[in-house]
């Protein structure tokens, strides 16, 4: 009988330990897996959205650049209309446009019959007097309007895009057109704008026209080729902007963000390898496992102690069953029934261990809502706080701001100095705000401050204080920088969504930019604060 009791106790203790260990593993492994999947998807979604925003911004810049180039040609067309029979003046004007604009590799004037009357640079002037029959010229003569041509191969086998403006005399008679050509296989404005955006992690940009022809690619040999077998490029003419997970021509899975240049229909695609995007997750999960290992060891020791605690009352119950006829057995058994409390404690210990893991997962989720450069909240943090304010029906003011001429800082002093400017602005925002205020960086040099409970007047004062603080705080190597700010206010009873106030504040920021920068604009008619 003693041997039986000993065997029962040892078997039960082992069973409890094994069962507890299996339970812990069964719960922890799915938690680790779920954490990995959630964080992986967050990284993918963030990269896709970042690529989309980046492509949209470059598409807008390209569209603006083309518009400016056409405007320059339009001015030149007005000048040339009065000098069409003055060959030296025509040559001087084409040379002026070429020298003053970085957009063109050559500039020229073609009369209404299609004959070349003037061209720059000088090595091309032997062509003056020839009849121009390129597709771009025929298109310009036919359309007689401001035009960015479809890319075509010139007689010299250059892949060319021609920009043109028609020339009309005072009576509206068509006299020809002024044009500028962009040699896509040579140095051009697309190379200048996009060539610096190639990263060692495999990210890159490329541009295609409506006919799937590559206008820009990091590999110059591919410029001019037609993209085949790419579902995104096939559907691009019907889309304006968006994101896709695709495989590139090398079979690499990419995270692509895309946007269309409105005036030409060109597609700008920014993409990053999926493998590079999720690579940090492996180290992140490894760190979680390493940090959890000591806790797991402590948990195992606790489980072993609880197993002893569980087997001891059961042994006492068995001993009491053999001693039913002894005095005090009933009282002893009554006390042993506290075994249920011990079971509850074991369960509580397991839940405690799981709570530690969930707390760590929660910390990872908070990290996913934080901008790593400035330590401010990111767009997810902004959306979360806006949803809380709406649920609480709490009024708030929004201040949207960005650094004036930030691209110039990056281009002149480098991205390291630009990052320093962003971090300095974040610190100044913290110093000008309360702890309850929500400070976010939503992308690039764009920041948002949410001031719960603040009126538009208070928000304007805060914005002005921040503007002056930034203006008076020089940045090493750059000197003084400035910011432009837009202010708007949300009332819980207005019937509008909290997110709409951001659009109003952004519109006010745009007005501040248009009015000269380094100022605060309020999104209300007739009320504004200026520097």
Q: What are the catalytic residues?
A: 445
Query: Which residues lie closer than 8 Å to 292 by C-beta, 6 or more apart?
Result: 28, 356, 357, 360
Specify the 3-state DSSP secondary structure of 383. helix
459 token code pair: 């928000």
**Dihedral pair phi/psi, residue 506, rounded to 5°:** -65, -40
Cβ contact 31:289 at 8 Å: no
Instruction: Say how far residue 318 (Cα) sits from the centre of its chain.
Output: 67
The closest alpha carbon to 50, from 236, 201, 208, belongs to 201
d(CA 320, CA 328): 10
Strand bridging mode 159-168 / 147-148 = antiparallel
Residues 6+ apart with CB under 8 A from 298: none
Which residues contact residue 188 at a Cβ distance below 8 angstroms, ignoring those fewer than 6 apart?
105, 182
Task: Give the Cα separation of 441 and 455 in Å (integer).
Answer: 22
Strands 152-153 and 527-529: unpaired
Report how far residue 173's alpha carbon sits from residue 165's, in angstroms, rounded to the nearest whole number: 14
């Amino acid at each position: 009988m003693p041997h039986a009791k000993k065997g029962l106790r040892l078997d039960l203790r082992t069973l409890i330990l094994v069962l507890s260990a299996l339970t812990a593993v069964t719960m922890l492994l799915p938690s680790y897996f779920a954490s990995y999947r959630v964080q992986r998807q967050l990284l993918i979604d963030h990269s896709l959205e970042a690529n989309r925003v980046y492509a949209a911004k470059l598409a807008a810049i390209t569209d603006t650049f083309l518009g400016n180039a056409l405007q320059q040609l339009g001015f030149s067309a007005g000048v040339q209309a009065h000098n069409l029979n003055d060959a030296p003046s025509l040559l001087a004007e084409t040379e002026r446009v070429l020298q003053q604009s970085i957009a063109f590799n050559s500039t020229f004037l073609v009369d209404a019959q299609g004959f070349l009357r003037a061209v720059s640079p000088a090595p091309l002037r032997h062509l003056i007097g020839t009849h121009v029959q390129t597709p771009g010229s025929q298109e310009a003569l036919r359309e007689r309007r401001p035009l960015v041509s479809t890319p075509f191969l010139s007689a010299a086998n250059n892949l060319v895009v021609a920009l043109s403006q028609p020339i009309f005399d005072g009576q509206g008679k068509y006299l020809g057109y002024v044009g500028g050509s962009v040699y896509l296989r040579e140095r051009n404005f697309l190379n200048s704008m996009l060539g610096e955006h190639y990263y060692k992690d495999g990210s890159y940009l490329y541009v295609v026209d409506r006919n799937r022809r590559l206008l820009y690619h990091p590999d110059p040999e591919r410029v001019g080729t037609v993209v085949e077998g790419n579902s995104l490029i096939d559907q691009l003419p019907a889309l304006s902007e968006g994101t896709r997970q695709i495989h590139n021509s090398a079979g690499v899975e990419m995270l692509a963000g895309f946007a269309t240049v409105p005036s030409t229909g060109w597609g700008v695609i920014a993409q990053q390898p999926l493998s590079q995007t999720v690579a940090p997750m492996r180290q992140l999960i490894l760190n979680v496992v390493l940090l959890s290992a000591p806790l797991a060891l402590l948990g195992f020791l606790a489980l072993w102690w609880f197993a002893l605690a569980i087997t001891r009352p059961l042994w006492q119950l068995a001993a009491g069953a053999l001693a039913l006829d002894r005095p005090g057995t009933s009282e002893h058994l009554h006390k042993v029934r506290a075994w249920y409390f011990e079971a509850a404690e074991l369960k509580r210990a397991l839940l405690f261990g799981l709570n530690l893991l969930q707390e760590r997962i929660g910390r990872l989720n908070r990290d996913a809502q934080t901008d790593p450069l400035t330590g401010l909240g990111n767009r997810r943090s902004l959306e979360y706080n806006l949803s809380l304010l709406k649920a609480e029906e709490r009024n708030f003011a929004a201040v949207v701001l960005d650094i004036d001429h930030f691209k110039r800082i990056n281009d002149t002093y480098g991205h390291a100095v630009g990052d320093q400017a962003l971090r300095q602005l974040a610190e100044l925002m913290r110093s000008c705000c309360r702890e309850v205020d929500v400070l976010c960086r939503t992308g690039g040099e764009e920041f948002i401050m949410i001031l719960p409970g603040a009126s538009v007047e208070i928000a304007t004062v805060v914005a002005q204080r921040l503007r002056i603080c930034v203006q008076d705080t020089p940045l090493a190597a750059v000197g003084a920088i400035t910011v432009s700010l837009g202010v708007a206010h949300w009332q819980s009873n207005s019937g509008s969504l909290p997110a709409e106030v951001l659009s109003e504040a952004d519109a006010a920021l745009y007005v501040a930019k248009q009015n000269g920068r380094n100022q605060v604009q309020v999104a209300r008619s007739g009320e504004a604060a200026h520097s």
